[in-house]
Structure 1
Amino acid sequence: MALAVSVVGCGAASSASSSTLLGPAANYDYQNFTYSQGLDANGHWEGVSALDYVTLPEDYAAIPLKKSDVEPSEEDIQTLWDNLLESNRVNQPVTGRPAETGDIANIDYSGTVDGVVFTGGTAQGYDLTLGSGSFIDGFEDQIIGHNIGDSFDVTVTFPDDYGDSTDEAGNPITLSGKEAVFSVTLNSLAVSVLPEATDAWVEENFGASNDLHTVADVDQYFHDSLYDSNLTNAIVDYLTENAEISSVPQVLLNYQVCSQLSYYNSYASMFGYESLDEFLSGFMGYDNADALLADTESDILNSCNQLLIFQAVAESLDLAPTDAELEAYASYTETMGEGYVHLLALQDKVLSTLREGAQIS
């Protein structure tokens, strides 16, 4: 599990000049950032003995935690069940009644403006949830009340700011503010329903793929996943709250800043912006990269502190990942480098060791 080696979250847009701690973005070679920069072959920060900067709490190897802080609640487990069932909704066919709000109507439609068919106004077998508001105002309302097999016209008016289209020959057609007539056929109706959580349903959907065969298996899986996550978070919180850090080596600050700026710079290139500053100003509301760094300074520092603490624990306990533990991240080697792979595996090793040593009462 990787901790802190990621783009930190951004708060509200800012126009601050630059970060007092980090300085201007121009000081960082983020255009050439690599995930293994500043890391040695063991996943440690180059030239850094973390214990020179970090004083760990005396009980760091046997962190005292309350059971209530790590044991999942029934509400937490139910939330995971709710999410699982919601993501596995099924469409149940509806017959013998007209279309109603909430139904999924499968339709064919072809629209015209001034009698001319326009691009984007025709589809076959389209599933439209009635009442979703995903089509032009009035379109879905005019399907309600019709029966499967009905063919009928739907007349709507495009909003005044609607974009233009073209006819079959490619000639422009103005849609803004124009009345359109759609010939619609209602092919079928369905309703989206939640599946029932039964042993049979679990076996069918998760037996082969996840080795989960009963409702009780899923309950246990959710419990264990939440427990592990809660325990990890509690350990990280304890260390960050109780470790003393004298300062942060520049190599870590360089890494975290370049990681963040490189991330947003890649999006600037993807979306066709000429510079990072132009992207941040036009897309994210920051005046420039300096303002971004000023706004996220504390998040970057917290991430650096976590990385430094984890290396300090590894040094103190003489921890290093095994070949098998490194193999879990082997697929990252080509794109992210050996140093980064060792860092990820080392963080897993530290967390695993601290979880085993935690004193929960």
Structure 2
Amino acid sequence: MKVTVKKIDDANILVSGAVENSVIEANIDRLAREAGKQMKVDGFRQGKVPPHIVKKLHGDKLRQDAESEALKALMDMGIAEAGINAADIIGEPIFKKYDKKEDKIEVELELSLRPDVKAEGYEKAVPTFKKPTATAKEVDEKLKEIASQNAPFEKIKRKRAVKDGDMTLIDFEGFVDGVAFDGGKAEKFNLKIGSGQFIPGFEEQIIGMKYDEQKDVVVTFPKEYQSADLAGKEATFKVTLHEIQEQKEAELDDALAQKLLSDEKATLDTLKEKLKEQIVSEKTSKVYNEKLKPELIEALVKHFDFALPHNIVEQEIDAKINAKAREMKEEELKVYQENPEKVEALRDEVREEAENSVKATFIVDALAKKEAINVDDQEVSQAIYYEAMMSGQDPQQVIKYYQENNLLPAVKMGMIEDKLFGKLLGLDS
């Protein structure tokens, strides 16, 4: 086999060559002999199956494997000819040509290399900004809000009808088409009116009920309801009101601070300082995600100039096209399926965005190494665990989902990116 190598740019090379049929046939003979030593076929002793029998039984698979081996050898020759390190090759090769002729297979394949990003001068790309602060008024408003959320409820002294914001004590049982359904019954259940805890329309119909009143509350389950048996169906709940509770005025004192901070030595000033830090953190997070991060990525992409591996760019374009396809209606999707030129136009449309995304990934990787930014697997698991807890999901199930769908590397990359940008912007100080 002979190969020629052409350098496209610093990140891509084109390997051209031809694989003669004699090479493929020699590979088939060798693979057949090796397989015959392992196979068991009726009429032959194990390990003594003749090559011609192996070829007869597994001819297509042998030829496929023989061609793969020959292509691998051709690619290795191209790598050696180009004088590159095989470890620098990234992703899968792109076949530009694979033409089977009578006596040979003519091949052109493009190999991509990991870019060499010179991590220099990037400090100039970091945008300047004024770090957010928290005013005394904002801290006081936050304090009143959190105190109100934690103020206790007490049974009302004079009987009246239910109002929005009340805590109620109710019995209820739900029926669909006159038949009670599983999970639709409870006794002495605490429901805060206006909390949105129940099906839309339920809590609003409790408003105006009086002590010991019984009422039929009619609602319709959402179409996307988790139980398929109930989704989209009308249900009647027989409700009995036992008690109404009002929320007491919140006391802003050291006792509140000690309760909220789980610290017997905490004071109201301690709580205010914590709330001040929280407000500053929330403001900083908002300005980082909405302004600083996009500006920094754009500036870094503009600052660095290096060739991108074509195969990785094509993968990113594929991902963006697939994401758009998932959002398309069936009619629109059909138009693209029937018109390949529209797909190519769409690929061209997202190409620049994909290139910038790939470029940013390599920049972050290089700068993270330069700035000694690391995120270990335990940090990734802890972050996913916390997010799952905050959203009311089972952390173990969420982590399992990320593992099974190979999403952990993306989460880790995102955490490294945020750590790096935080350091560059001075947000971690």
Query: Under a length normalisation based on structure 2, what TM-score does the superposition of the two structures give?
Result: 0.44
Q: Which has the higher contact order (CA 8 A, sep 6+)?
A: 1
Please identify the structure whose Cα radius of gyration is greater: 2
Bigger helix fraction: 2
